[in-house]
Structure 1
Amino acid sequence: MKEEKLLAVLRLQKCKAIGDILAKKLIVNIGDVEQVFKEKLAILSKINGIGSHVLKNLFDTKNIQLAEKELKYIQDKKIAFSYFLEDDYPSNLHNCIDSPILLFKDGDLDFSNNKIISIVGTRNVSSYGRSFCNDLIKELVQYNPIIVSGFAYGVDICAHKAAIDNNLQTIAVLAHGFEQIYPKVHKKYIHQVNENGGFLTEFWSEEKPLRENFLKRNRIVAGISKATIIIESAEKGGSLVTADIANSYNRDVFAVPGRTTDLYSRGCNNLIKNNKAHLLNSAFDIVKMLNWDIQEKPKPIQKQLFVELNENEQKIYNLLHDKGVQLLDVISLECNIPIFQLSSILLKMELKGVVKPLQGKMFEIA
């Protein structure tokens, strides 16, 4: 990515009045992140969600200075990053409309393996929970999954260590920038994690581990994975938030049941009771539910279409052919077609027999 473009992305990311959803809407409607800051105010104000307060913050000169400082840090430290419209962005996050527009990476991360699971739970993990986590990961080794967690006390660090012990890639999603480490006692694990995967964060270098950052971190943990596993949890806690987010993304959630008298089994038991999670007894439940026991077949040769597609239709077809089922919002972002135009195009493609609509604003090749 060119320096000017990265600076524009950082500048947009720094705008407090603009979240990831609105940032993506701006980029899609304007067509290019650099052009966002060159566009006329009259055109920007026509975009839904862009009011006077947002525009004032968008062009705040303080954001330029902060973005330039962070850009220098990225260049000096040679920080790797992934932009949401580029190929190296984690594919599972592409389907999450509120995923970060920019992620910072440290280590040797490889997202080509799509067998990604998140393992989270209480910081007060019991000996039973620790043993279950270790056994679970050991049983999954033959499927070579990537283990994601939040580098926190308890279940999180147990999952990272078990992955490392079994030579599996592990990804630690941080709630702060790379110039911080939380908890500090886990500093001793940084090298091991980097050797067996690495770290991922949306936060700038000096961002501290504030309370609200952990909630934002949880959506990445849930979104980057095919499934989220809750080992142990009290009736309230961050891992239950992660489970709720995973459910909102239509991802599988698993919970380990426990005795009704155990404080840190109540959250898991409630998830199962309320049909918010599959009951997890062993690795077999994950393998079966995620179809890991089915050998992958070679991709079929693309069928010849006997209909003519215009430029936009061809872009949509290519996306669905290459990446499979996609959300309407994701198609809009990937193909750079505004939603109001996209709906009409998809309807025409459906009538041509090229695409098929699914529940939840999802589409696939017919």
Structure 2
Amino acid sequence: MPTDTHHQIALTLVPGVGSILIRQLISYCGSAAEVFRSPLARLMKVPGIGEVTARSILKPGILTAAEQIVLRLDKLGATALFYTDKSYPARLKTLYDAPALLYFQGSANLNAPRTIGLVGTRQATDYGRRITSEIIEAVAPYGVSIISGLAYGIDIAAHRASLVNALPTVGVMASGLDIIYPNVHQKTAVDMLIQGGLLTENQPGTKPDAHLFPARNRIIAGLSDAVVVVEAAAKGGALITAEYANNYHREVFAVPGQLNQTFSAGCNKLIRENKAQIYTSPKDIIEALNWDTASEQVSRKNIAPALPVDITEEESQILALLRQSTDSHIDDLSWKSQIPMGRLASLLLTLEFQGFVRSLPGKKYAVVYI
């Protein structure tokens, strides 16, 4: 019998159905399994789902294809993480373009308390590799999880320095989990499974085509509390990652370099255009993210009291969304949480009675504590 995972994977196989439409379908139907049990007429009522797409959903064979993917995942010792799963990365869950489904292999906690993305050129210099190692060595006492893209240059230097410093490190891939690219990083990738992991939105067997790399970069940015661009040319993947990080309101740092060096041009450009803070030492990152002891002591005064143990997952999700801004409109909360409006209004009322949320004019809400 098909499981929830089979149905969730099957949704990603429907032509023309991306992550946003998957969320719409789940919101209207209740679950992935119910999507495939729904009649054609009901599916066509879902916004964005026309007759052609609805018929594609009901087309025989999609669940069979999903079953084959599950078998390949089992052989790899990997798992599929749907956006409704507790183990799905919380940092990604609220992003407008987050993947509805991820494939993960390894031992890392994808919801680690502290994360840094380290990215840069594939043609790293000795200077770039040295700075990368120095950053990782300096943040090691804070138990940081290091995120990068398993590529040549700065990426692989970051992963290897993480392994040396006993830090978990996650490689975000532009291919399926069974295709390590570049292949010369196979040994490092295997080591990362023990002390980190590999993550992708692409099903097994997917080759690393060019258009998949920018999509991969958004996941690196989304998983990171801060992104550090160590070396970069005036154009390239590292700058794309920085752009995503800015859009996601992550801290962005760029390591300055010599004016006549090709792979300092991108970093200097980010700094000049105020798209990144200048990196001068690891202290810059530690202070910006309040990891230093003094800053942590100050920030604890504003940390919310412990939530009751019986708080539901939906209520916890709503509070997490509200903490990201001073106030949020109920329509925005419904879209980001994918909780139907009627259900959301009831949950907000419950949280207001419990003293965690207050209602504001204009159908806006805010947490009582921040």
Structure 1 and Structure 2 fold alike (TM over 0.5) = yes
Q: For residue 3 of structure 2, give the secondary structure of its aligned residue in structure 1.
A: helix
Aligned to 2:88: 89
1:228-286, Cα deviation, whole Å (9 max, x unpaired): 11111111101111111111111111111112221111111111111111111111111
Contact residue 356 and residue 365 of structure 1 kept, 8 A: no
Aligned to 1:43: 42
Matches within 5 A, 1:89-168: 89-168=88-167
Structure 1 residues 335, 278: CA separation in 2 closer, same or farther (over 3 Å shift)? Answer: closer
- Report deviation, 1:44: 2.1
1:341-360, Cα deviation, whole Å (9 max, x unpaired): 75898699889993367xxx
For residues 273 and 128 of structure 1, what CA distance do their matches in structure 2 show? Answer: 21
Q: For residue 61 of structure 1, give the secondary structure of its aligned residue in structure 2.
A: coil
Aligned AA for 2:199?
A: L
Matches within 5 A, 1:188-207: 188-207=187-206
Structure 1 residues 338, 177: CA separation in 2 closer, same or farther (over 3 Å shift)? Answer: same
Structure 1 unaligned spans of 5+: 305-312
Aligned AA for 1:162?
A: A
Aligned to 1:308: none
Is 1:295 aligned with 2:299? no
Aligned to 1:354: 357
1:8-67, Cα deviation, whole Å (9 max, x unpaired): 111101123011111112112211111011123223222221123322332333433321
Q: For residue 134 of structure 1, give the secondary structure of its aligned residue in structure 2.
A: helix
For residues 37 and 215 of structure 2, what CA distance do their matches in structure 1 show? Answer: 30
Structure 1 residues 253, 347: CA separation in 2 closer, same or farther (over 3 Å shift)? Answer: farther
- Report deviation, 1:79: 2.1
For residues 177 and 332 of structure 2, what CA distance do their matches in structure 1 show? Answer: 29
Aligned to 1:216: 215
For residues 238 and 25 of structure 2, what CA distance do their matches in structure 1 show? Answer: 32
Aligned AA for 2:296?
A: Q
Contact residue 168 and residue 195 of structure 2 kept, 8 A: yes
Matches within 5 A, 1:19-58: 19-58=18-57
- Report deviation, 1:214: 1.2
Paired residue for 1:325, among 323, 326, 345?
A: 323
Contact residue 356 and residue 367 of structure 2 kept, 8 A: no
For residues 41 and 3 of structure 1, what CA distance do their matches in structure 2 show? Answer: 20
Aligned to 1:307: none
For residues 27 and 124 of structure 2, what CA distance do their matches in structure 1 show? Answer: 44
Aligned to 1:228: 227
Aligned to 1:338: 340
Structure 2 unaligned spans of 5+: none
Structure 1 residues 60, 329: CA separation in 2 closer, same or farther (over 3 Å shift)? Answer: farther
1:127-153, Cα deviation, whole Å (9 max, x unpaired): 111111111111111211100100000
Structure 1 residues 261, 107: CA separation in 2 closer, same or farther (over 3 Å shift)? Answer: same
For residues 56 and 45 of structure 1, what CA distance do their matches in structure 2 show? Answer: 9
Structure 1 residues 6, 340: CA separation in 2 closer, same or farther (over 3 Å shift)? Answer: same
Aligned to 1:69: 68
For residues 211 and 152 of structure 1, what CA distance do their matches in structure 2 show? Answer: 13
Structure 1 residues 88, 231: CA separation in 2 closer, same or farther (over 3 Å shift)? Answer: same
Pick which of 94-103 and 159-168 moved more. 94-103
Aligned AA for 2:129?
A: R
For residues 29 and 84 of structure 1, what CA distance do their matches in structure 2 show? Answer: 16
For residues 6 and 356 of structure 2, what CA distance do their matches in structure 1 show? Answer: 43
Structure 1 residues 344, 267: CA separation in 2 closer, same or farther (over 3 Å shift)? Answer: farther
For residues 116 and 224 of structure 2, what CA distance do their matches in structure 1 show? Answer: 5
Contact residue 94 and residue 321 of structure 2 kept, 8 A: no
Q: How many aligned residue pairs are there?
A: 355
Contact residue 320 and residue 365 of structure 1 kept, 8 A: no
For residues 118 and 343 of structure 2, what CA distance do their matches in structure 1 show? Answer: 40
Aligned AA for 2:21?
A: L
Aligned AA for 1:114?
A: P
For residues 189 and 88 of structure 1, what CA distance do their matches in structure 2 show? Answer: 24
Aligned AA for 2:323?
A: V
Contact residue 120 and residue 231 of structure 2 kept, 8 A: yes
Structure 1 residues 341, 319: CA separation in 2 closer, same or farther (over 3 Å shift)? Answer: closer
Matches within 5 A, 1:11-26: 11-26=10-25
- Report deviation, 1:119: 0.4
